Structure 1
C-alpha cells in the first residue's frame, strides 16, 4: 500500500453497503467490518481481522465510522 491512508470506506448506500477503495481501486461493497477485512486481506494484509479494521489508521471512514452500515 502506497499512501498514509490508502483505504477509503464510503458512506452507506440505500442497501447498507459501503464502497471500499484500496490503493485507488474500488475493491467492492462491504456490509460489515468483516467484509472490509476481507478486502484488506486480498490486498496483502492477510493478518487483518475485524478488530484491526475498527482500530486501523490506514482507513478513512466517510459518512460514519466502522459501526455505521445503514443509511
Structure 2
C-alpha cells in the first residue's frame, strides 16, 4: 500500500503543479501539503527536490515523466 500512496502523492503533486519562471529558466513546482513520509521517499527517488523548510517542491524531469506514466496507468486525462 505504501507504494501506491507514494505513486498517488507524486501524481497529485504533478496535477496540482504550476510553472515558476525564476529568471534563469522555468521550473515545475507544487505545494507540499502531503504526508512527509511520502515526500521524503519521492525526494530519495529523485522525483522531487526541495528543502525541508520550503513550502513547495520542484518536480524533476524524472518525476514529471513518472507522473505522466502514472496518469496513463490510472486513466487520467492531462488537461494542462
One fold, TM greater than 0.5?
Answer: no
The TM-score with structure 2 as length reference comes to 0.33
Specify the structure having the higher radius of gyration (Cα). Answer: 2
Q: Could you say which structure has the higher helix fraction?
A: 2
Greater RCO structure (CA 8 Å; 6+ sep): 1
The TM-score with structure 1 as length reference comes to 0.35
